A and B are shown apart, each in its own frame.
Chain A
Amino acid sequence: MPNSKLKQALDSGKFVVTAEAGPLKGTDIKEIEEIAHLLKGKVDAINVTDQQSSVMRLGSLVTCHLLKEWGVEPIYQLTCRDRNRIALQSDLLSAWVLGVENCVALTGDLPSSGDHPQAKPVYDLDSVQLLGVMHSLNEGHDMMGNELKGKTDFFCGAVVNPGADTEASLELQIIKMEKKIAAGARFFQTQAVFDPSSFEKFIKRVEQYKVPILAGVIPLKSAGMAKFMNKNVAGINVPQAMIDKMTKAEDKTQTGIALCAELIRTLKGMCQGVHIMAIGWEKKVPDIIAAAGL
C-alpha cells in the first residue's frame, strides 16, 4: 500500500516542515548521511535536489533511496533539463521501485548557470507535462497510453514563485499553478519568501485551490547574501529592514537563525507548512525549527 509519510502529515492538518539537501559532487556520502541523521524525526521530509543550479553531482534518485534507508522521508526533485520523456518516465519507475513515494516536478535551471555550460539543454517536457506523466504512471500507463506491469502511486508536488514582481509575472505564475494542479500536483513548495505581507496577498489569490502550500524560507547568513539574492534570484525580495538587522548583527549566525524563525512563526498562520532551504546550513535546521517553536 502507498504510504507517503509526507501525504499523511499534510492530511493530518499539522504544520509540515520539509528541508532540502543537495548531494555533493563525488561519491562521498558522509555529509549527507550526517544531515539525514541530524534531521531525522525533526522534519517531515527532505527534498533532494536534482543537479541543482545545473552543477553536476551525485544523483537525486539514489540519494532519495539512501535517505529512505536511513529512515528519512525523501522528496525526489526531478527537472526537465537533463532527460527526455523516455528517461524521465524510466527514472520515475526506478524511483518507485526504490521506495521513493514523493516527487516534485521542476523545469530546471539552464545549463549556462552551472559547471557544464556547454551541455545540451533538453526540456523535452515542461514541469506541467511532467506532472501529467507522473499522473499517467500512477494510473498504470505510460504517457503514450501503454500499460505498465506494476504502477506507481506517487504523491506529486510542484513549485511556485509567489514573489513574482510584475502583474504579468504574477498572473503567469498563478495560471501555471492552476495548470499544475490540473495536471496532478497535490502540494506546492514555494520560492523563498522574505516578505510576509506580499506572500499573504499571494495566498489570498490561491487559497481557493485548496492545495497545501509549504512556504519556502532561506536563513540569511549575511547582509551580502541578501543583497546578492535580491539582485540575482527571481522572485526573491529581502526587505531592507531585514538586511539592516543582518548588517548590524554581532553574531550573524544567531541573527540569521532568529530572523528565519521569526519569519516562520509569521507564515505559520498563512499556509500548511514551511520548506527550509538552508543552502549549506542544513545542520542548523534543527536550531531554526526549535527557535520557531515548531
Chain B
Amino acid sequence: MIVGERKQFDQIWESIKNYKSVLILGCGTCVAVCQAGGEKEVGLLASEIRMKSQMEGKAIKIGEATIERQCDREFFDSIKDQARDYEAILSMACGAGVQFCAEVLEPIQVFPALNTRFIGVTEQEGNWAERCRACGNCVLGTYGGICPVTICAKGLLNGPCGGSKNGKCEAGQEKDCAWVLIYNRLKKQNRLENLRGIVAPKDYSLQNHPARVVNEFYTRPIISSGEEKNAK
C-alpha cells in the first residue's frame, strides 16, 4: 500500500485558515489502512480544526466526507455536488489522490493534509515499513525476496558497503543491513551462488518521471464479433 503520514496540524491550519468553508475528504483505501487519511482520521482532523477555529474566533464551515479511492475518477461522483458548497478541499489522500481531487473538482482549491511516504507493509499495528521503491525492474527473485534497492540505504546491487555493523545499517542501529538479511535468506534456501557475479549498473531510464503503464488489452477499441464481420 501507499503509506502516508498526516502533516503537522499547524501546517494544515496555515493552509486553510483563511477559507470560509472547507471539506475534509478522506480516502478509504491505502491511507485508511495506515491510519492516516481514512474516515476516522477525517473525523479527528475535523474536530481539531473546529476547536482551533473556535479559539481563533473564526467561523469556518467544516464538512466531512470519505470516498473509496481518490485515485479513480468515478469515486468522486458521489461527492461532486457536496464539494461545490465549499471554498476549499483538504484532501487526506496520497499525493496521487490529491492531484486527481484537484483535477476532478476544479476550480475548487485543494490542499494536502498528508505527506506521502512510501510503498510499504504493516509490520505490526501502528508500524509501517517501506518495501518497494518502484524501480521498474524487479530483482526480488535473485535476492530471496528481499529488496536491496529499498532495504539497503544506498540501494547497492553488488553487496554491502563497509558500514554494516553487527548486521545493522550505517544509517542507524535500528535498521537491518539488507545484505545480511539477503545472505541469511539465500543461505537457508541453499542458493548463495546468487550473490556471485557482477550485477550491471541499474537502468534508471526505467524511472523517468512521470511514468505511465498502458495495458493494450483494455485500451483498444471494443468491437463485438458481429461488428468486426460488418467492418470487413
| Distance in angstroms between the alpha carbons of A235 and B198 in the assembled complex | 24
CB atoms of A235 and B201 under 8 A apart? no
Partner of B154, one of A85, A110, A159, A161: A110
CB atoms of B170 and A129 under 8 A apart? no
CB atoms of A169 and B164 under 8 A apart? yes
CB atoms of B180 and A166 under 8 A apart? yes
| Distance in angstroms between the alpha carbons of A113 and B204 in the assembled complex | 26
Output the nearest chain A residue to B181 by Cβ-Cβ distance.
A168
User: Does any Cβ of B come within 8 Å of A182's Cβ?
Assistant: yes
Closest 4 CB pairs between A and B? A176-B159, A234-B165, A128-B158, A107-B161
Interface string of A225-238 (1 = CB under 8 A from B): 00000000111000
CB atoms of A176 and B163 under 8 A apart? no
Contacts across chains A and B counted by CB atoms under 8 Å: 97
CB atoms of B171 and A175 under 8 A apart? no
Query: Which A residues are in CB contact (< 8 Å) with B156?
Result: 107, 123, 126
Instruction: Tell me how far the C-beta of B161 lies from the nearest C-beta in chain A, rounded to whole angstroms.
Output: 4
User: Does any Cβ of B come within 8 Å of A191's Cβ?
Assistant: yes
CB atoms of B183 and A191 under 8 A apart? no
Output the nearest chain A residue to B200 by Cβ-Cβ distance.
A129
| Distance in angstroms between the alpha carbons of A129 and B156 in the assembled complex | 10
Docked complex: A175-219 residues within 8 A CB-CB of B: 175-176, 178-179, 182-183, 191
Q: Which residues of A contact B (CB under 8 A)?
A: 80-81, 85, 106-107, 109-110, 112-113, 121, 123-129, 132, 143, 159-161, 164-166, 168-169, 171-173, 175-176, 178-179, 182-183, 191, 233-235
Interface string of B101-123 (1 = CB under 8 A from A): 00000000000000000000000
CB atoms of B155 and A123 under 8 A apart? yes
Instruction: Tell me how far the C-beta of B50 lies from the nearest C-beta in chain A, rounded to whole angstroms.
Output: 36
Query: Which A residues are in CB contact (< 8 Å) with B160?
Result: 169, 172-173, 176
Query: Which A residues are in CB contact (< 8 Å) with B166?
Result: 165-166
Instruction: Tell me how far the C-beta of A51 lies from the nearest C-beta in chain B, rounded to whole angstroms.
Output: 15
Answer whether A168 and B162 are a contact pair too, CB < 8 Å, given A124-B201, A128-B198, A143-B201. no
User: Does any Cβ of A come within 8 Å of B179's Cβ?
Assistant: yes
